[in-house]
Each structure stands twice: as C-alpha cells, then as structure tokens.
Amino acid sequence: MTGSVSALRAEIYSLYDDTRPAEAASASLRGSLPARAVQHCPPVAAGSGFGWYVYPPADFALRWDGQDTEWTVLEENEPAGWRSLAGGYDGKLPDAAARLAGAPERFRDDLDIFDRYGGSIPFLDADPRAANTIELVTGVVARTSPGWCLLARGVPNWPVQRGLQLYEGVVETDWYTSLLPTILRLTEPGQVVRFYRNIPLMCLQPVHRSTLDAFRHAELVSEQGLADWPEDVWADFVALRRRRQDPEIRSSYRREQSRRVRENANYQPIGVAEADQPS
C-alpha cells in the first residue's frame, strides 16, 4: 500500500463450526464463467474475483404468499416443514442452541448476549411491516484493519435467483465486531427460494474509508452530446475504438494492459494475477 492507505487484513469468523469457511472469490465463478470471458475480458474476471464468498450455515428455503413469509430447513433438497415468520417471529436453526452449549469454557459467562433469542443463535427475522423483507444471520462476524470497511452484497456475476433480491450495505468492520446482517427481499409471491450451504450467499468486498470519503467529495462531470466532449477524451476514445474495429486485433483491453506493463514496471493490471500478467 502507498500513502495513507494501510495494509488490509480481513478476519472472518463463524459461530457454526461446520459451515463452509469464507474463501476468496473466484474470477471464473468456480468454473461456471465462460472461458472466453475469463481469458479475454479482464473487467469481468476482476469483478468476479473481488472479495470473499460467505456461505449460509444450512440448506433452507423461504416463500412469501404476498402477505406472510414462511421458512423451512431442507432435507435431501425438500422442505422439512414450513414455519411462519409472521408477527416478527424469529426463525432458529434446530441445533443452534446446542452450538452455544458446546462453547469453550472461557466464553460461557458471556452467553447471556443470546438470551433475547431464547439462548439460541438468531437466524431469520421477517419485518412485521414488510413480511417479504427478511434479515438473515449467517453467524458470520468480520474484523478488518483500521480504515477498512466491508461491502456486503450479492455474489458478483452469479446468476440471481428468481424471486430474490439481496440488499447491499457497507459495514464499518474496523470497529463493528458483530454479526453481519444480510437483508433479503422476496419479490414473487408463491416462489420457493432455496439456499444451499455449498453455494455462496454473498460476497464481502473491502472498501477503504478514504475511498468512501473521496466519493462524498468527488466532482462529477456528466455531459450529454458530443458537443460537450473535451478533445483529449474524444482522442483517447477514438484511438481505443480504432483498435477494436481492426479484425486482426483481439482482446484490445488486455493488449493495452500488456503495453502498460511493458512501459511501466510499477503498473499492476486489475484482474490479472501477478503470475499471469500479460506479456
């Protein structure tokens, strides 16, 4: 790191010992992204591989009938018994209380922090005023280096499930060492939305406070119509488009990265691993 931006360290913990651990996001979406996109479109690879995947602690499903929401654990991919979240009822995993009972002796005196949830780990909570909006608690707690926050969002470029929306939020994890909230919104009445412990639920992406502050004070220039374009912007645009129109030239974005690497030893292409830099 340079300047005032400190080095990044991210720590991601789970209350569940058998949950799939958080892992670095995959530039190829764990092999599901077309090879052509990975090889010839660095922006897509960079976006896909930025952050860390977080997984749910169980296989479960939600459904909203237009008025109330129900949930169920999945057993062999089938609902084990629907339970209502109406009236602000908290959904809890069947073995959540037992997880707390098995906590190390050094933590036992502090388990009263879960008394509000009947001595169990919270899991699901539907908003009584908008029952299709649900707070999901994955049991994940994160801590980052001073100055760093985490943007919690859906998995980049992963196909979105029908009937589901994930809200995005920036959490100040350099001081907020608590359960990371995940807010879901069900959008289609009657649609069963399934979640699996081996499929990423969301992605945590690091954002430095200086970036957030720079955005708040940023100057935006937004012009419509060619008459207002500066000549240097137009010249850069034309040069890049000419390369793309040449049928003999492929991967013009990646070729430009290669040129910049050759001319600047300190240039690090975004979306290209150090061992796989264009040459």
Any bridge partners for residue 24, and if so which? 52
pTM confidence score: 0.85
Structural domain count, the chain? 2
Residue 144 has pLDDT above 70, yes or no: yes
The predicted pLDDT at position 279 comes to 37
| Same domain (yes/no): 28, 108 | yes
Q: Are 164 and 184 in contact (CB under 8 A)?
A: yes
| Same domain (yes/no): 135, 160 | yes
| Same domain (yes/no): 73, 207 | yes
The predicted pLDDT at position 272 comes to 53
| Same domain (yes/no): 188, 239 | no
Any bridge partners for residue 50, and if so which? none
* Mean pLDDT of the region 146-158: 94
pLDDT > 90 fraction of the chain, expressed in percent and rounded: 64
The predicted pLDDT at position 42 comes to 80
* Mean pLDDT of the region 30-41: 75
| Residue ranges making up the domain that contains 235 | 226-276
| Same domain (yes/no): 66, 202 | yes
Q: Are 138 and 123 in contact (CB under 8 A)?
A: no
The beta-carbon contacts of 24-28 under 8 Å, at least 24 apart in sequence, are 24/49, 24/51, 24/52, 24/53, 25/49, 25/50, 25/51, 25/52, 25/53, 25/155, 25/156, 25/203, 26/53, 27/271
The enclosing domain of 41 has a CATH number of 2.70.40.10
Q: Which has the higher per-residue pLDDT, 122 or 37?
A: 122
Q: Are 140 and 134 in contact (CB under 8 A)?
A: no
| Same domain (yes/no): 58, 81 | yes
Tell me the pLDDT tens digit for each residue of 82-122: 999 998 889 999 988 888 888 999 999 999 999 988 888 99
The rounded mean pLDDT for the chain is: 88
| Same domain (yes/no): 142, 67 | yes
φ and ψ of 179, to 5 deg: -65, 130
Would residue 62 count as lying in a domain?
yes
| Same domain (yes/no): 247, 211 | no
Residue 63 has pLDDT above 90, yes or no: yes
| Same domain (yes/no): 111, 171 | yes
Would residue 1 count as lying in a domain?
no
The predicted pLDDT at position 274 comes to 43
Would residue 3 count as lying in a domain?
no
Letter string b/e over residues 192-224, b meaning 16 or more CB atoms within 10 A of that residue's CB: bbbbbbebbbbbbbbebbeeeeeeeeeeeeeee
